[in-house]
Amino acid sequence: MVEAGGSRTIGSATTGILVLALLYFAQSIFAPLIFSLLTIALVWPFQATLQRWLPKLLALLITLVATMVVIVVIGSSVAWGFGKLAQWLFVNADRFQAIYVDWTTWLEGHGVAVAGPLADRFDVTWLVRFVQGMAGRLNSFAGFALLVFIFIMLGLLEVEDFNARLLQPAAQPYGMRILAANRVIGAKLRRFMIVRTFASILTGLVVWLFALGAGLELATAWGAIAFALNYIPFLGPFVATALPTLFAIAQFDSWQTAAVIFASLNVIQFIIGSYLEPRLTGASLSISPFAVIFAVFFWSFMWGIAGAFIGVPMLIAFIVYCAGTPSGKWIATLLSSSSKAATESGS
């Protein structure tokens, strides 16, 4: 009995590792596929409403155009912002080099030897390449967007037929469970994205206004980056806060000014992300912060920028599916921030 249980555990672990390896090495297919499925769950009610008044193909066309416009706007915001940063950094690289030399000299004068280790890991040309690489990867998402477009188009055409197949007697009892879970996932994702979009727009506007008031160069770029990266919990706001601070050091040549900017940006992120947004999402979307951070970093490792954006929606879907099965309720409870939220996930 013990040996059989151990064999099943080893078999399950091996299967899980193989599935993760498949998802990693076939990310060019699975990343746009999962992104498309989550998008379909978000936009299907919009198309269903249009179909009451318009022909199905015309409703599909309007839904596709609106969806792709939103995706392109968000992606282009990050690409444009990082592109402007790369241009500015290339022109002003000497400022960072001078600050780097001054700081390392000051630290070495106080007995902290950092020039050697830092020289092996960091210099201004590395920073330029990093920012340019980010802009380049974001500008090369045309192939990803094309696959997403195809998957969304085919998926929206099949939603009604797929739901009908789930209701067939041969698909029971799993068909009804999947259908119920899909409805809950769609409702939660729509609420999550509406609140997230509102918070992202507000964050982008406030950061832009603050950058203008503080005299930061590239204020519009900082606002665009803050808007787009706010869709990535924790990691996105951190990048949107750290980068302006780093550039403020070079612009103002004063660590005190940079510290004030860093503190102010963190206050903005805290008020919107940690105070306003949780009150708008409500208890039904309460997820363990540890689970959110893990999802963002894990799917960033698996699928890059696309994984960072869809990590939390995938976690929401996973929690709902677990809450809908007796054997998975304990997983949903552990991943939720409260027992009440875990219970509501399956309802």
Determine, yes or no, domain membership for 123: yes
CA distances for 206 relative to 140, 214, 217, 227, angstroms: 29, 12, 15, 10
Amino acid at 183: R
Determine, yes or no, domain membership for 104: yes
Give the pLDDT score at 129: 61
Rg (CA), the chain: 23
- How is residue 344 written in tokens? 């509501």
Determine, yes or no, domain membership for 101: yes
Q: Which of 9-18, 59-68, 324-333 has the highest mean pLDDT?
A: 59-68
Determine, yes or no, domain membership for 171: no
Contact 141, 77 (CB under 8 A): no
Determine, yes or no, domain membership for 110: yes
Lowest-pLDDT choice from 136-140, 162-166, 179-183, 225-229: 136-140
Query: pLDDT (tens digit, 9 = 90+) per residue, 162-221?
Result: 999 989 988 888 889 889 999 999 999 998 898 889 999 999 999 999 999 988 888 999
C-alpha 335/C-alpha 346 separation (Å) is: 13
Containing structural domain, residue 131:
30-162
Give the pLDDT score at 97: 67
Determine, yes or no, domain membership for 36: yes
* Structural domains in the chain (count): 1
Report H helices in 215-269.
219-229, 235-252, 255-269
pLDDT at 282 over 90: no
Query: What is the 3 state secondary structure string of 109-120?
Result: HCCCCCHHHHHH
Query: pLDDT (tens digit, 9 = 90+) per residue, 67-92?
Result: 988 888 887 887 788 878 877 777 77
Determine, yes or no, domain membership for 344: no
- Between 136 and 166, name the one with better pLDDT: 166
Number of neighbours of residue 276 by Cβ within 10 angstroms: 16
Determine, yes or no, domain membership for 114: yes
